[in-house]
Amino acid sequence: MFGLFKNDPVKKLRKQHSQIQEQAMIAQRNGDIRKYSMLSLEAENLWNEIVAAEAAKPPQG
């Protein structure tokens, strides 16, 4: 009950990951492969952070 109003850091990371993926897709469509590669790498690193944060999260219930 007390954790009801706490911000979920994983939710914030997932939103950021989604935004980076969208930027990468736009860069790829525009033909900027270098920018696409950089953004894809950033998204992959962020995804690894998300996986680690979810693994460290205590089980609910």
30 lies in some domain: yes
Question: What pLDDT score was predicted for residue 3?
Answer: 61
16 lies in some domain: yes
Question: What pLDDT score was predicted for residue 51?
Answer: 95
State both tokens at 28: 């790829």
61 lies in some domain: no
Question: What pLDDT score was predicted for residue 33?
Answer: 97
State both tokens at 43: 């998204």
2 lies in some domain: no
Expressed as residue numbers, the domain containing 38 is 10-54
1 lies in some domain: no
Could you read off the pLDDT of 13-53 as tens digits, one per residue?
Answer: 999 999 999 999 999 999 999 999 999 999 999 999 999 99
47 lies in some domain: yes
Who contacts 12 (Cβ-Cβ below 8 Å, separation ≥6)? none
Q: What's the burial of 34, exposed, middle or buried (CB within 10 Å: 0-12/13-18/19+)?
A: exposed
State both tokens at 2: 């007390």
Domain count, the chain: 1
Who contacts 20 (Cβ-Cβ below 8 Å, separation ≥6)? 39, 42, 43, 46
58 DSSP assignment: P
